[in-house]
Amino acid sequence: MKDKGLILNIFDELDKEVLDVINTTFPVLYTIGPLSMLQQNLSSPKFESIESNLWKEDNECLSWLDKREPKSVVYVNFGSLITVVFIGVPEMAASTAVPKTQIAEIESLRLKDLKAKNYLFQAIDRATLETILHKDTSKQIWDSMKKKYQGSARARRQQLQALHSEFKTLWMKSGESITDYFSRVMTIVNKMRIHGDKTEDITIIEKILRSMTSNLILLSVP
């Protein structure tokens, strides 16, 4: 970017504590709401339509922002808290008379479920993504991932220990973009969480900042 700041795929209201931590290193933050991070996950021909509908729009958005003068753009976005709908979304029979209040509640659950699916798709690595695209709800995706990665209690502990070691030794590669590095970190973090890890978001952000290449940090310090 042309200005000494950082564009974040995040909302102020939802991640204030995380932003406060990042702000100690990057004084100028531009929070522009969630953009899809599917480019590194969806590169095969079978995902071409998804790429054209999601990632290409985001890529054009970032390219357009980069051509603007610093601090010349006001980005307005609206968002809501994303949660996995663990109980599933109830179905309505076409011939059943359903009260309007219940219809509104079900539609609200469906909207939350769609948002949760979008966030899960962003965070899941490509190999796993290809196995769960046919799942209809975020609960089905989550249950499928738990079944795939959890296994027995002993196996979970061993896998979690291995993931912790991998997380601790992570370091940004030379020439690696922030987006690619963040995606690599979150792939490991999500696997850790599936195995019961409770690492807080702030700890993850601090890890990312500490392990970034020095030239990126220096460029962001006034």
Asked if residue 7 lies in contact with residue 220, where contact means CB atoms within 8 angstroms, the answer is: no
Q: What's the confidence (pLDDT) of residue 196?
A: 80
Q: What per-residue string of b and e applies to 84-105 under the rule 16 or more CB within 10 Å gives b?
A: bbeeebeeeeeeeeeeeeeeee
Asked if residue 139 lies in contact with residue 161, where contact means CB atoms within 8 angstroms, the answer is: no
pLDDT digits (tens, 9 = 90+) for 135-144: 777 777 777 7
Q: Report the candidate in 191, 83, 114 with the shortest Cα–Cα distance to residue 145.
A: 191
Percent of the chain with pLDDT over 90: 4
**Per-residue pLDDT at 94 exceeds 70:** no
Q: Report the candidate in 75, 65, 29, 3 with the shortest Cα–Cα distance to residue 205.
A: 29
Q: Report the candidate in 127, 124, 197, 129 with the shortest Cα–Cα distance to residue 166.
A: 197
Q: What's the confidence (pLDDT) of residue 187?
A: 87
**Per-residue pLDDT at 167 exceeds 90:** yes
To the nearest whole number, what is the mean pLDDT of the chain?
65
Residue of 75 and 8 predicted with greater confidence = 8
pLDDT digits (tens, 9 = 90+) for 169-198: 999 888 888 888 888 888 898 888 877 888
**Per-residue pLDDT at 76 exceeds 60:** no
How many residues in the chain? 222
Q: What's the confidence (pLDDT) of residue 32?
A: 55
Distances (CA, A) of 182 to 74, 127, 154: 25, 17, 29
Q: Which of 24-28, 77-81, 112-116, 163-167 has the lowest mean pLDDT?
A: 77-81
Which backbone phi and psi does 107 adopt, to 5 degrees?
-65, -35
From CA 222, how far away is CA 218, in angstroms rounded? Answer: 8
- Structure tokens that stand for 187 in this block: 């792939």
Q: What's the confidence (pLDDT) of residue 41?
A: 40
Coil, helix or strand at residue 31: strand
From CA 6, how far away is CA 57, in angstroms rounded? Answer: 20
Q: What's the confidence (pLDDT) of residue 105?
A: 72
Q: What is the DSSP letter of 29?
A: E
Coil, helix or strand at residue 180: helix
Q: What is the DSSP letter of 27?
A: S
